[in-house]
Amino acid sequence: MAFFVFVRFKVKPGTVDKFLAELEKAALSTRSEIGCIQYEYAIDAADKSAVILFEKYVDQSAFEIHRSMHYLKSFREAVAELFDGEPMIIRGA
């Protein structure tokens, strides 16, 4: 059964471009993962300092493998200071 993840990142004013550049690096690697079906993101139309991420994997195991990838650690480190609060994460199958 497919596994879905929705994330809404709120970033500090003036940092959206930097955040998106780092997210694109992670997206390129994630999209090449065997278990990744879809990985898309966009700026929230209602809040230009928020980014919405949609992820779809073949199953929850594929998502867990994704979470262990080394490039995600680099992504987290690169964007840690850009957050304006904790990301909102919704997962489901």
Counted domains in the chain? 1
Query: pLDDT tens across 16-74, in order?
Result: 999 999 999 999 999 999 999 999 999 999 999 999 999 999 999 999 999 999 999 99
Position 73 scores a pLDDT of 94
Output the domain CATH number for residue 15: 3.30.70.100
Full-model pTM: 0.93
- Residue ranges of alpha helices (H) inside the chain are 16-31, 60-67, 70-79
Any idea of the CA torsion for 41, 3, 12, 75, to the nearest 10 degrees?
-90
Q: Which residue range(s) make up the domain with 53?
A: 3-92
pLDDT at 69: 96
- pLDDT at position 65, please? 97
